[in-house]
């Protein structure tokens, strides 16, 4: 159903529902942002309090005159898991039927699934939106990747299969031309939109909500068919009221497009064959509705590794490295200590001075960094990171010894895959749901 773009009670109610779900996901979005920062190397931005002043760890380290060093291990682990997934995906796609493969090729799903898997490891959530129509002159069923940072869903959902979801949606940031093309019904709307948004971007909330609607099943004897109509429409139509009918409560998915001001742009019943919503999404592990990602589990090991590396660097910088001890009494009359330092550093330098009995000779001091076990601690952290993540040396292509047999190497690789099987199989179920949604849309053509 398309209506005039005005602020209505239905629009305000839909906006309030979306805001409630959006606010419930604030913690998840904050954790996702932190996980993404750590994955791509921005690892010193956690806030700390120093003498009553709040600052980032990076700001504190720079203020102390040091360099915030890091060794990004998380990115390497994520790449390894994505590589394992690509191998599994290639094997799986080889068994798809012709129709599924045609849609996958049209959407370049091999690449989309790889990038979505990367997102799944970082945030713990994968989201796709399916739609049927024309894109760049081609008709088909299309897949759009949705950022979990712009996505929201029912905060009361607990079923990992999504069976109890009653609200789902996303926030769109549309350029004004695209917004007008999608929602301007006539010239009046077009001019109003141009005046309101003045060439900027427009925030549009897409909301899909499961509702119970009062309907009537009417028997149209003249045309030998059963009609399902809204109760309000039935009451307003003498022709429909004249038909034999039965009241019913209909469980339906309805969609709403609303602006941030509550302007209802479009709404209606789901147009899909099974009456559902267009989203396919999966959260991990979704225990009691909670999402905890692969990356979140190894951030503490990454932080401690960075601290050990920085500590070792600070100790090396604080140690004596070629410091010259030159007695003042040995400095020639009229001599310059800068010239002495320059001659000392030359491979053929000469420093003339008159020694005195009992006077110490010039000497150079080199201090070794104290062995406080930093190297051992780093080795422990690297081993812990492999244990926590499940990505061991065999899965990374490393061979522990040249004498390792192929059978032992294969067994270690298989054991590592076992530790990753849960997260990989969960994403496989996301792919299965995606294929099911595509097939349902294809059957409704």
For 405-428, what is the mean pLDDT?
Answer: 77
The reported pLDDT for the residue numbered 322 is 72
21-68: pLDDT as tens digits: 999 999 999 999 999 999 999 999 999 999 899 999 999 999 988 889
**Of all helices (H) and strands (E), which one includes residue 250?**
strand 245-259
Q: Are 276 and 270 in contact, with CB atoms under 8 Å apart?
A: yes
How many C-beta atoms lie closer than 10 Å to residue 246's C-beta? 10
Q: How far apart are CA 256 and CA 208, in angstroms?
A: 6
Q: How far apart are CA 119 and CA 113, in angstroms?
A: 10
The reported pLDDT for the residue numbered 2 is 43
The reported pLDDT for the residue numbered 125 is 97
**What is the 8-class DSSP label of residue 296?**
G
How many C-beta atoms lie closer than 10 Å to residue 413's C-beta? 17
The alpha carbon of residue 77 and the mean position of all alpha carbons in its chain are separated, in whole angstroms, by: 15
pTM for the full model?
A: 0.83
Rounded percentage of the chain residues whose pLDDT exceeds 70: 90
Of residues 227 and 381, more confidence is placed in 227
Residue 334 has pLDDT above 80, yes or no: no
How many C-beta atoms lie closer than 10 Å to residue 416's C-beta? 21
Q: How far apart are CA 224 and CA 226, in angstroms?
A: 7
Closest CA to 171 of 198, 199, 144, 205: 205
The reported pLDDT for the residue numbered 405 is 59
The reported pLDDT for the residue numbered 1 is 39
Closest CA to 227 of 211, 210, 244: 244
């Amino acid at each position: 159903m398309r209506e005039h773009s005005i602020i209505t009670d239905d629009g305000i109610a839909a906006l309030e529902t979306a805001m409630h779900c959006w606010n419930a996901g604030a913690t998840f979005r904050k954790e996702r942002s932190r996980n993404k920062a750590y994955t791509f190397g921005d690892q010193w931005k956690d806030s700390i309090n120093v003498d009553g002043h709040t600052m980032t760890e990076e700001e504190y380290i720079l203020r102390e005159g040091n360099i915030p060093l890091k060794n990004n291990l998380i990115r390497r682990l994520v790449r390894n898991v994505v590589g394992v997934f690509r191998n599994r995906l290639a094997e799986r796609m080889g068994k798809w039927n012709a129709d599924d493969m045609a849609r996958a090729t049209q959407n370049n799903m091999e690449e989309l699934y790889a990038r979505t898997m990367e997102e799944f490891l970082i945030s713990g959530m994968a989201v796709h939106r399916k739609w049927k129509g024309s894109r760049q002159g081609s008709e088909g069923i299309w897949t759009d990747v949705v950022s979990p940072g712009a996505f929201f869903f029912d905060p009361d959902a607990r079923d990992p299969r999504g069976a109890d979801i009653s609200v789902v949606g996303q926030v769109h940031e549309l350029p004004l031309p695209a917004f007008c093309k999608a929602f301007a019904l006539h010239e009046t709307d077009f001019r109003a939109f141009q005046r309101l948004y003045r060439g900027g971007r427009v925030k549009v909330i897409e909301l899909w909500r499961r509702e119970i609607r009062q309907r009537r099943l009417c028997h149209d004897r003249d045309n030998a068919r059963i009609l399902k109509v809204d109760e309000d429409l039935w009451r307003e139509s003498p022709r429909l009221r004249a038909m034999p009918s039965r009241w019913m409560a209909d469980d339906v998915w309805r969609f709403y497009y609303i602006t941030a001001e509550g302007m209802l742009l479009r709404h209606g019943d789901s147009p899909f064959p099974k009456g559902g919503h267009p989203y396919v999404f999966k959260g991990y592990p979704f225990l009691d509705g909670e999402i905890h990602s692969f990356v979140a589990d190894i951030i503490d090991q990454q932080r401690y590794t960075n601290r050990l590396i920085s500590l070792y660097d600070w100790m090396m910088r604080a140690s004596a490295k070629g410091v010259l001890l030159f007695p003042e009494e040995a400095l020639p009359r009229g001599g310059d200590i800068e010239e002495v330092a320059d001659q000392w550093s030359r491979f053929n330098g000469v420093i003339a001075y008159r020694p005195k009995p009992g006077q110490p000779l010039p000497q150079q001091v080199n201090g070794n960094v104290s062995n406080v076990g930093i190297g051992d601690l780093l080795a422990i952290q690297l081993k812990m990171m492999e244990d926590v993540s499940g990505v061991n040396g065999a899965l990374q292509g490393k061979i522990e010894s040249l004498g390792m047999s192929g059978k032992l190497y294969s067994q270690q690789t298989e054991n590592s895959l076992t530790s990753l099987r849960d997260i990989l199989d969960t994403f496989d179920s996301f792919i299965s749901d995606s294929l099911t949604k595509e097939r349902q849309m294809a059957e409704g053509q």
